[in-house]
Chain A
Amino acid sequence: MWRRIYAIFVSRNREFARDRSTLAWNLVLPVVLVFGLSFALDGERDEYRVGILQAGTEIDTAAHPFLATRYIRFVPYQDRDAALKKVERHQLDLLLDFGPPVRYWINPEATKGYFLEFALLQSTAPADPQIEKQEVTGDAVRYADWILPGILGMNMMFSCLFGVGYVVVRYRKNGFLKRLRATPLTSLEFITAQVASRMVLIMGITVFVYTGTHLLLHTRMEGSYVTLFMVALVGAISMVSLGLVVSARVTSEELAGGLLNMINWPMMMLSGVWFSLEGTGPVVQKLSQILPLTHVLDAARAVMLDGATFGDVAPALGALSLMSIVFLVVGAKIFRWGPD
């Protein structure tokens, strides 16, 4: 069994490694995106962002005149520590708690916080309760720090879904799977080899791209590299497994491409690759939780930006593992060697 898996694993790796254009695309695209976006967008973000500590998810703009100020995005927070961390990192410009006591936090190094403080104090009537000011300090998280996990995750998603899904469909269409079926190789052995091969390739590429950008752009890394590696590993398994579900029966590359794009696009838009989902509606937030990439990116950012430990990201890893099991079982169950 293991010899058969190893034989398929090695031949698939050779095929990928010798396909120079695909290999180059997998390596160059994320690097270009990270560098391009970090240089293009590494200035201050345009938006003024204020966190409101409260129990619910809806902000009552009538609660205080400041909340009716135009051109400010108000984001509700339930966890004060998490919100303060964002103020420290300049991801939130001001955090407001209507208490009692009524308090606000700003980072004295953040310019937007300085102006927001003026706006808050201006909108507060003399009769209103006294607002208590508190300061937190910390370096800003640059866009490069924030976007790096997103780009790596997106590259991983494309590579896993297309690298497995599309390839299996191509093998089925051109009859290579039929040839394998006539050997003692089982579908489980074939799937295992495909998953293992893609895992090795994608982990190698991800580590290479991460190391390169980390060294060149000095991106933030607060947590453990081992934990980050685990997040990438479990995330890649979940997405390879998803690719196998798509490719389990499809015989047309066009249909496979369509199905894979139908999965890629929601993940790219709703998993927080390009922008944070904080402050988006509850439906979008709930929807994002069924997408594996959301868990990968949340966990990776938590490790890289907040120094989350393995225990902290364990729920995300658990969700990803559960998804992987479901995808693998379904994929193996419905897998077909040929069109018949």
Chain B
Amino acid sequence: MTTVLEARDLVKHYPGVVAVDGVSFAVSEGMCFGLLGPNGAGKTTTVEMIEGVTRATSGEVIYCGAPAGARFRQEAGIQFQNTALQDFLTVRETLEMFHALYERQADLDDVIEQCSLKDLLGRDNRKLSGGQRQRLLLAVALVNRPRLMFLDEPTTGLDPQARRNFWELVKRIRGQGSTIVLTTHYMDEAQVLCDEVAIMDAGRIIAQGAPDALLQEQYQGLIIELPIEDVTDDLSGIEHTVLENLGIIEVVSSDIARSLAELQPHVKSLNHIKIRQPNLEDLFLDLTGHSLRA
């Protein structure tokens, strides 16, 4: 597959802080690439250096084989984490304004249809709900028929229904051939949408690969969760992880029946035990030692 985007050893220093410390990755055409990590991990700084809105201290961004420049700006669609739009403009006027900034243009009616904005075209930008606003910002990112799209924390602050609707929209866009770079701290979002993820912590990539492959590599089996208060004595003979902030103990097991038998003498009851597949959040916790939800 053709490599559309390549970040080479990106570094960003702020006074007294290394926000991004040598990040490199490549994104192939048609892929949805996820940049994951908790708040403050350096995801947004990394994508903003790639987008050209933040100057890198060092490093290089290659777009379609050449340093990112004018062609990149024409072909990239960007949805920032926080974007203010002009006051007093309607949804249609905002879309028309951004549409006119590009030589490469999408059919505006298609974009409006795709993002379900038809009923909102005459509404003032300031009077949109969170979900409606995110759809407008996504539409703004689509006005140039982008070959490469950046979605930075696109569902932060949305209710569960709006998040799922947004995921469907992203899937449709991806189905049309766009390459997507998604930054998120929602691991379920990454698991649903991404072909490949890079997990960031403290400005560095600490793991990278396809979500399933990363999980298979790290975990041989399922996760047993049991409430801390149900444990009656020492579990030192059983390999486990205590998540005090969540009030649970996790045991990874490739043989559930045997593990449950081992646990039974140490717990009040097995009624509250949960068995589930490991996910990216578990992976992040194991790799960094701290929870994404902390």
Q: Is B78 an interface residue (CB 8 A)?
A: yes
B88 touches A174 (CB 8 A): no
CB pair B101–A184 under 8 Å, yes or no, is yes
Distance in angstroms between the alpha carbons of A339 and B279 in the assembled complex: 38
Q: Which residue of A lies closest to B96 (CB)?
A: A7
Q: Are the C-beta atoms of A176 and B84 separated by less than 8 Å?
A: yes
Minimum CB–CB distance for B89 against chain A, Å = 6
Looking at chain B's contact residues, the main secondary structure is loop
Q: Give the most central of A10, A11, A180: most B CB within 10 Å.
A: A11
Chain A contributes a number of interface residues (CB within 8 A of B) equal to 27
Distance in angstroms between the alpha carbons of A185 and B84 in the assembled complex: 17
Q: What separation, in Å, do the CA atoms of A337 and B80 have in the docked complex? A: 15
- Within residues 40 to 70 of chain B, which ones have a CB less than 8 A from any CB in chain A? 51-55, 70
In the complex formed, the residue of A with least CB distance to B78 is A182
| Contact string against A for B residues 72-111, beta-carbon threshold 8 Å, 1 for contact and 0 otherwise | 0110101010111111110001101110111100000000
Q: How far is the CA of A185 from the CA of B99 in the complex (A)?
A: 11
Instruction: Identify whether the interface residues of A are mostly helix, strand, loop, or mixed.
Output: helix
Residues of B contacting A65 with CB < 8 Å?
A: none
Closest to B150 in A: A182
CB-based contact A15/B88 at 8 Å? yes
Distance to closest chain A CB from B142 (angstroms): 13
Residues of A within 8 A of B86 (CB): 11-12, 15, 176
- Chain B positions within 8 Å of A178 at CB level: 53, 80, 83
Q: Is A31 an interface residue (CB 8 A)?
A: no
Nearest-neighbor residue (CB-CB) of A338 within chain B: B53
A11-B89 in contact given A175-B84, A182-B52 (Cβ < 8 Å) = yes
A52 smallest CB distance to B (angstroms): 57
Give Cα A10–Cα B101 distance, bound, in whole angstroms: 12
**Extra inter-chain contacts (15) besides given A176-B85, A183-B101, A340-B55, CB under 8 Å:** A10-B97, A11-B89, A15-B86, A18-B88, A19-B87, A19-B88, A175-B80, A176-B84, A179-B78, A179-B83, A179-B85, A182-B51, A182-B73, A185-B101, A338-B53
Q: Which residues of B contact A (CB under 8 A)?
A: 51-55, 70, 73-74, 76, 78, 80, 82-89, 93-94, 96-98, 100-103, 140
